[in-house]
Structure formats: structure tokens, C-alpha cells
Chains A and B, each alone.
Chain A
Amino acid sequence: MDGFPILTAMLLVPLLAGIGCFFVAANAARWLALMGTLLTFALGVMLWVNYEIGGPQWQFTETAELFAGFKYALGIDGIALMLIMLSVFLMPICILASWNSITKRVGEYMAAFLFMEVLMIGVFAAQDLFLFYIFFEAGLIPMYLIIGVWGGDNRIYASYKFFLYTLFGSVLMLIAMFWMVAQAGTSDIPTLMQYDFPVAAQFWLFLAFFASFAVKMPMWPVHTWLPDAHVQAPTAGSVILAGVLLKLGGYGFIRFSLPMFPDASAELAWLIFALSMIAVVYTSLVALVQHDMKKLIAYSSVAHMALVTASLFAFNVQGLEGAMMIMLGHGLVSGALFLCVGVIYDRLHTREIDRYGGLSINMPYYATFFLLFTMASIGLPGTSNFIGEFLALAGIYQASTWVALVCTTGIILGAGYMLYLYRRVAFGAQKNEDAAAMPDMDAREWGMMAALAAAVMWMGVYPESFLAPMRADIAALDARLAAAAPQGDSQLQVGPPRAQAANAIAFEAHDEEGAH
């Protein structure tokens, strides 16, 4: 792989395919988009295969002095690698999900998705602060169009809200970036991650970055754009929003806020914990009373992301690894759940939960996949989310037992609303005739679901594949944070090992009794 600029290639393939989509007919655009995303996925697999675990922290680096004021610098570590894999894996599925449901202006739609892919890969691969900002912010344009042109009835309100909310969040971050670059004299992200900013300044810088990432994440109380955007976006748009765009916030925390402002992070951890606890409980309760399937899943996303933020600020390895695993797992599972909604929405054109019922009778395969993803969302052992949630809660417990207690109720409530959703949609009587007449999944839908299900199971059964590339980077981050890490309240101490096995006492007691 030496010398081949694979990251640039991964940016160019979808870019060229996207430009091509403008000029071809509808069906050709679908195929072109599918081929483009599959080729990018293939490049992504090559990237993963050639990634050297335990090698240098930043691999596949490329630099070019193309612009004035900032550099074209790319490079990835294990964390970025995993998130890039998530993006390129979800993209072909998004294209397939829109295969039949998008009928107007197909070329432009496919182009918007391919540009989105370019920007997402760019965000994770950028090694220059301003290059990162450009990719980060540019995603607004295609997403605004995807929601606004191909969205549901209330799409215009949702698209405005999405655009202005996220724009407002980001501009303050730009000002903070200028200050940092003026202070540190470089816009190189790896250098900035090791730079010690003055503690007093860190506070303000942290808040500026927080404004942006909290909106993207989204954290309570600035999450309100998400349910609107999700509900109005087309299915594939929701998949990308939930699958990748929400991860930008988490990635921002792990790449910028924590390593660059460790002292401020520790100082403000209480704020993150408080907002996360509120979000976990509040949005879970809100999800419980939703009548719209997409809205329910959107609120569940907010709850899951709150768990991510809480565990990121636990300042320990378990918390950081757990946050990354939840992000990856949630990317797959929530994407899959939105696809499940999309499958039946394509048939009946409603997201009302009450319009369905008893689908396991006429759509058994669909019901099976839906069940699997429901269970994965709850965090059942053997699925991807279990790994993440377990690690995250273990990490949070070390930092604060109370936060861990409240966050765990989120898991219980999550089981509540997901099982309640599943019962109303898939079980019970077939009370609606048109819903009862829906055919089961076709080959295209099978393909998408099977791919996602395989990934979810793989991550649940053998998470080491995903944890191994990230381990060194998370350890480095943990070392960076060690000096600032606040004292946890659980005071876990490893005691001396027992002389005998725990059940040996009972056995001896019984023995004595017998001798007596």
C-alpha cells in the first residue's frame, strides 16, 4: 500500500460518481451510485486490512500544500478507521434503501448521498483543523437538500431547523479554532492534541466546541432538531443521520474536546453528566409515548447518545472504549431500525404505529430481523450494543455510581419502549386489513437486512476485531487525560485473592455438621 493515496482515492471515487449522477438517467444514476459506494466500501476494506495494529498512531498520512491558510492533510488512527468503516458500510445500504422509494430527481438524490459520503470520510480523515471544519460544516448542504426535497410533509420546517441549529452551533467553534491556531502556531490536529492550552482559556474553548458537538450529538436540551429531521427525512436520510452524522459529535469530543482541553473537560464533566442523565431518562420516557415509529427511534437515539457522552467523560479506558462501541453499534442498529421502518413505510406509506399490527403473521422474515434489531437496541448479550453498553456503564460506575445508576435506568426504559413498539407492530391481532396484506421482504431488502444483521452479530460475538485497532489510540488518550482525571466516587480497590473458592465455606460447614 506504500505510496498509494488510498484516503484521497476514497474521497475521489464517490465525488466523481456523484458528479456523474447529475448527467445520467434515473436508473443509470442508481447503478452508478451503487457501484461508486461499493467501490468505496472495497477501498475501505483494503484500508482496514492494511491498517497496522500497534503500528504508528497516524497511518496512511498524506499532505499537500494546496490552499492558503490551511493544508490538505489526511491520515487516520484506529478510531477514525472504525468510523470510516461504519460510513462506507452504511452507504451502499442507503443507496439500496432508496432504490424504489425515490422516484423524482433520482440523479440529484444519488449525487447528494455520494457527496455526503465524501464529506463524512473527509471529516474522519482530516488532519488539519480547518480542513476538518470544512468537511464538518459542508455536510449541511446535502443534508438540507435531502430533507427538503425528498422529505415528508413537514420537510421545510425540519430542513430549516436542522440547518440553522447546526450552523449556529458550529460557527462559535470556528472562532475557537482561530484562537487555538493563533496560540499554538499550527493547525495540525495531532500536534494540537498534545498542546497544553492555558487552563483558563481551555474553559472557553471547551464551551465553544461543546456548542457545536452538543448540537450534532445531540444532547438535551438542544436535541429538538433531531426528531423533526429524522421524521421528515427519507429513509436513507434517516439512516445516514442516525448512523453517521450523530457520531460526528462523539468523534468531536474524543478527537478535540478531551485531548485538547483535558482540564476543562474534567472541570465541566458535571455538566455533561447532568445533561446526559436528564437525556437518558427524559428522552426514554418521551420515546415511550410516541405514535410515530421514526420519532420513537429518533428519541431512542438521543438516549443512546447521552450514554455515549456520559461514558466519554468518565475518564477511563472502559468508558472511552464503551463510548466508541456504542457509537459503532448504534450506527448499525439504529440504521437498521430506520430501514425496518422504511420497509413497511414503502408498503403502507404511514409511520403510525397503530396502522400496523400482527406483522409477524404475514411478514415472518421481516419480523425476525426486526426482532433481532430490537433486541440489539435494548443491548441483549450477543449483539453489538451489549458490548458498548456494558463497557460504558462499567466506565461510568468508576467515575460516579449515581450517574451509573441513572444511566442504567435508561437501559431498562429502553427495553420498555422497544419491546412495546415491537409488540404493537409485529404481534397481536392483524387489525388493519391493508397491513395484513403486505408482502414479505424481497431480495433487495433481504440483502440490506442480512448485511446489517451479520455486522451486528459479529460485533456482539467477537468485538475484539473492532476494539483491537482502537486500543492503542484509546490508551494514548487515557494517558493524556490521566493528569486531569477527577477522583471517582466508587473507589474500586482490588482486594487480596481469597484463599479458598467462594463455595468452599458452605461445603466445609456442611461437612462439619455431618461429623457432628
Chain B
Amino acid sequence: MDYASSFALIAPELLLTASGLVLLLVAAFGGDKMARPIAILAAATLFGAGIMLLPGLHSGVMGLDTYAFGTLMRADAFALFAKAMIYLAAIGCLMIAPPYFAQAANGNERGMRAEYPILVLFAVLGMSIMVSASDFMTLYLGLELNSLAAYVLASVMRNDAKSSEAGLKYFVLGALASGILLYGMSLLYGFTGSTEFGAVRAGLSGEMGTGALFGLVFVLAGLAFKIAAVPFHMWTPDVYEGAPTPVTAFFATAPKVAAVALIARVALEVFGEQAAAWQQIVMFLALASIVVGALGAIGQDNLKRLLAYSSINNVGFILLGLAVANAAGASAMMIYLFIYVAMSLGSFVALLMLRGEDGTLYETFDDIKGLSSTQPVIAWALLLLMFSLAGIPPLLGFYGKFVIFQATVEAGLVAFGAIAIAASVIGAFYYIKFVKVMFFDEPVDRVTGKSTAAHWALLLITAVIISPLGYLLTPSLTDLADKAADALFLVS
């Protein structure tokens, strides 16, 4: 494997690195007034990097040709699919940020800081490395690059106590999780003699010793923290509530995709021959996330906290696909992930549009009472998004649950699927509460502010994707997801 082909395989990452560094220089010399051009350039970079993924995505690349730098990284169809979703989500989050930070009422007189888009760019670079890691060292490198950028992003509003608190909490708990993960990796290294995924897989074949099992459990626990699966979810509501809303939107989408893709790759590829050892763990994580995510959301009054629990709940469904431990389940996971990203992005954009005349952002149920008579378009879009999150047909959110549960039942886990789907009804309760507050209650007319074109565009795009029209996307989405899943299950 020569360097030229290795560099060609990681061209998107190289582009992100180069433009991130250049933009950093621009920010250093240009100051905050350059924030807007930087954001636009960062989005363009992500778009360009996304274009580079297309040929590989289309042909479903997999196998030996996808390894770069020996066995350090691999850019197979699975990684490319995850990257495409990450880039798209990040572009969305860059689009919605400038209007938010431009509001003086949000405690930031200076408008958007120039670092913000650059941090997003570096976080995306980290995720990009995470999803194409094929060695525990690369994995950790990507994970930490992403996390460090994310800690700063969470506390990007320096004058806001809540934002700083969110950043600090995220940092402390994130560091703990990284420690757990590292400990697991070191155990695996000790028992198999390698950090490379293929070698670890080979080393774990046959009867698994207690030490290796501990390694497996620690690695999974560390990754479960990153995707906020119960019982490693405690940080999520606080961080989601405290962080500025565009950052929350970012946390709920792109890093989630990266972490889910990572846990899928580690579980199915590295521990692929020990599925029996981790299947029960993942089943527990999935069921617990669905139930706790649903029950925790019921009492919430803050919409961002509610969406945090909703994301926990959704992670549970995604993990159902992992628990199946076959290609159909992995494909279902990726489809669900795509739909989940569209739904979360749409919901957070809608939250960003709930602003008063002076730009104050409203984020409790009391503020959106009767929204349907004062802001019908936002209310109807939110209605579609909430029913979609609840998985009610004919919205696309149902299709996500459809493929996940189909994979579960086809793999023979009928009782498990039945329990999980029954628990999903609890979740419907708080999603329809959204609709109840917006449509059935008397209007309070607090949301009077105007939203920018970027917000409207993103809201309408996501609403169309999750509307019944989105079902027309399903054949091509399934095709891509199947290729991605096949790449994951190709034992090299």
C-alpha cells in the first residue's frame, strides 16, 4: 500500500484539516467580524468533502482496497455512509448558528465568535477519523479530537453560567468515559497483543477469557457513554439544556452518528465472533434507554431537556438494530440514524425559531401554548416532527422503527421486540403532549420574532424529508445502507 493511494483514501479528512488550519489563521488575524465568511467557507468545505464521498458510496467500496496507512484506517462504504450523514448534519448546524449568536439577547454582544465554525470543523474531522478507524489508536485519536472540540463548543458562551456548567460537566464525565474506554483497550491489547481491529478479532476467537471479557465490557461502556445510552446517559439532559441551542443541535446529530457508527464497528467487527458475549449487554442498553428515555421525558417542562431524553429514547431503538448482530440489523441502524438526524435537526431548528420580538429564545411548554394559531407553519412542522419521532405512520419516523423491528423479529428476537415496541408507546405520550400544548391550549402569543431564511429553509427541508414524501427516498436509502452493512460484515 503506497502513500499516494492512502492519501487518496483520506482525501476528505485532508481537506477538512487543511481548511480548518487555514480558517484558524483567518480567524486569528481577521477577528470575530470574519465569523460569517468563515462559517460559509466551513460549510463549503464540508460540502466539498461530502462530494468526495459520492463515488465510493455509490459503488459500495469494501475490502482490502479501502485500508489506508497499513491497517490504521479504512474508508469502506460503512465509513463513507456515516461520514456523509455527519457532514450533512454539520452543514445544517453551521447554517443555524449565525442568526442565533447574532441576537444580543442571548448574552453574547459580540455576535458569533470566529472559532465556532472552526471548532465544528475540527469536531467533524475527529468524527471522520472515528468512523473510519480500524485500529484502537486511530479510534481514540478521532474520539478525543471530537470530544475536545465538543467540550469547548458546549461552553462557547463564556458569559453564560449554564453554558460553562454544561461544558464542565461534559468534560469531567467525558474524561471519565475516555478513561474507561482506554482501560478496556489496554486490557484487550494485553490479551490479544495488538490494537488493530482485525488482529484483536482474531485474538478473541474461540473461548473468551475473563480478562478479555472485562476489556470488551469496558470498551462498550466507554462507547455507550458517548452515545448516551442508559445507564451512561446522566450527562445528556444537563449538557443539552445548558449548551447553546445550535450546539445542542450539533451534539444531538453529528457526534451521535459518529459514536453509533463506532460502536457498531467495534461490536460487529472487533467483537464480531463474540456476539453472544455482548448481545445481552446491548439488549439491556437498548431496552433501558427506550424505557428511561421515555419515562424521563414525561415530567420535563424544558423543551431542550425533553429532546435530550428523546435522543436517549432514540438511541435505544438504534441499539435494537445492533442487538440483532447481523447485516440486516446494521442496515436498519443506519437507516434509522439517517431519519433520526433529519428529525432531530428539524426539531432543534424549530426550537431556535421560537423567539420573541427581542430575540429571546423560548424553551418551555408554557411558551408554546396555542402556537398553532399564532405561528401555524412552525406548529405544523413541529407536529410532523413529533409524530415522526413517536413513530406514527405515515411519517418517516415510522419507517425507521419499521426496519429496526423487522430486523429484530426476523432474527428471532420476537419477545424482545414485542417488549421494546410496547415500551415505545410510553414515548408517544410526551410527543403528543407537544401537539396538545401547541394545538389544544389557548394561545399565549409569546413567539412573535421573525426567523431568518436559513432557519425556514432547514425546517422545511427536514419537514419534507420526514413527511410521507420521504418514503420515496427509502429505496435508495436502503440500497446505501445495505452496502454499508455489507462492508461491515466483510471479514477480511
Query: Which A residues lie at the B interface, using CB under 8 A?
Result: 65-69, 105, 108, 130, 133-135, 137-138, 140-141, 144-145, 148-149, 155-156, 159-160, 163-164, 167-168, 171-172, 174-175, 178-179, 181-182
Contact = CB atoms under 8 A, between A and B. Distances in A.
Contacts of B474: 67-69
Which residue of B394, B429, B475, B478 has the most chain A CB atoms within 10 A of its CB atom? B394
Contact of B392 (A141, A149, A160): A141
Given A164-B428, A178-B405, A137 B392 contact: yes
A134 B394 contact: yes
A68 B477 contact: yes
Contact of B393 (A65, A138, A148, A172): A138
Contact of B440 (A133, A156, A178): A156
A137 B393 contact: yes
A145 B384 CA distance: 12
25 contacts: A66-B475, A67-B471, A69-B478, A134-B393, A135-B393, A137-B392, A141-B392, A144-B432, A149-B440, A156-B440, A159-B436, A164-B425, A167-B392, A167-B425, A171-B422, A171-B424, A172-B421, A172-B422, A174-B405, A174-B421, A175-B417, A178-B406, A178-B409, A182-B409, A182-B410
B14 interface: no
B398 interface: yes
A141 B380 CA distance: 12
B347 to A, nearest CB: 17
B5 to A, nearest CB: 34
A164 B417 contact: no
A396 to B, nearest CB: 33
> For B439, B440, B479, which residue has the most chain A Cβ atoms within 10 angstroms?
B440
Nearest to A147: B440
Given A105-B373, A130-B402, A175-B409, 9 more contacts: A66-B472, A67-B474, A68-B475, A133-B393, A148-B439, A171-B422, A174-B405, A174-B421, A179-B409
Interface in B398-439: 398-399, 402-403, 405-406, 408-410, 414, 417-418, 421-422, 424-425, 428-429, 432, 435-436, 439
A159 B478 CA distance: 35
A232 to B, nearest CB: 11
Contacts of B410: 178, 182
A111 B425 CA distance: 26
A175 B405 contact: yes
B406 A69 contact: yes
B387 interface: yes
B425 A171 contact: yes
Contacts of A172: 418, 421-422
A130 B398 CA distance: 11
Given A148-B439, A179-B409, A163 B432 contact: yes
Top 5 A-B pairs ranked by shortest CB distance? Answer: A178-B409, A68-B478, A134-B393, A68-B474, A171-B421
A169 to B, nearest CB: 10
A144 B387 CA distance: 11
A172 B409 CA distance: 12
Contacts of B439: 145, 148-149
B403 to A, nearest CB: 7
B481 to A, nearest CB: 9
Contacts of A175: 405, 409, 414, 417-418, 421
Nearest to B408: A178
A105 to B, nearest CB: 7
A138 B440 contact: no
Contacts of A174: 402, 405, 421
Contacts of A148: 435-436, 439-440
A160 B432 contact: yes
A138 B391 CA distance: 10
B440 A159 contact: yes
B393 A160 contact: no
A171 B390 CA distance: 12
A172 B418 CA distance: 6
A56 to B, nearest CB: 29
Contacts of A168: 422, 425
Contacts of B417: 175, 178
A160 B474 CA distance: 31
A156 B429 CA distance: 12
A181 B394 CA distance: 20
Nearest to B390: A167
A463 to B, nearest CB: 36
Interface string B459-474: 0000000000001101
Contacts of B372: 105, 108
Nearest to B401: A174
Nearest to A122: B394
Contacts of B472: 66-67
A479 B253 CA distance: 55
Contacts of B424: 171
Contacts of B478: 68-69
Contacts of A171: 421-422, 424-425
A20 to B, nearest CB: 15
A178 B418 CA distance: 11
Contact of A138 (B392, B421, B475, B477): B392
A137 B391 CA distance: 10
B428 A163 contact: yes
A149 B371 CA distance: 13
A130 B402 CA distance: 9
A160 B435 CA distance: 11
A164 B429 contact: yes
A155 B421 CA distance: 27
Contacts of A181: 406
Contacts of B479: 68
Contact of A66 (B402, B414, B471): B471
Nearest to A15: B468
A163 B399 CA distance: 19
A138 B368 CA distance: 25
A135 B398 CA distance: 12
A140 B391 CA distance: 12
A182 B392 CA distance: 22
Nearest to A165: B425
A256 to B, nearest CB: 17
A151 to B, nearest CB: 9
Contacts of A137: 392-393, 398
A156 B479 CA distance: 42
B259 to A, nearest CB: 26
A328 B63 CA distance: 61
A73 B147 CA distance: 48
A67 B475 CA distance: 6
A435 B108 CA distance: 64
B463 to A, nearest CB: 13
Interface string B376-402: 000000000001000011100011001
A134 B392 CA distance: 8
B196 to A, nearest CB: 35
Contacts of B435: 144-145, 148
A65 B471 CA distance: 11
A67 B472 CA distance: 6
Contacts of A133: 393
B402 A69 contact: yes
A182 B406 CA distance: 9
Task: Tell which of A65, A66, A69 has the most Cβ of chain B within 10 Å.
Answer: A69
A164 B424 CA distance: 11
Contacts of A167: 392, 425, 428
Nearest to B414: A179
A145 B403 CA distance: 28
Nearest to A148: B440
Contacts of B440: 148-149, 155-156, 159
B380 to A, nearest CB: 8
Contacts of A156: 436, 440
Contacts of B399: 69
A43 B406 CA distance: 36
Contacts of A105: 372-373
A175 B475 CA distance: 22
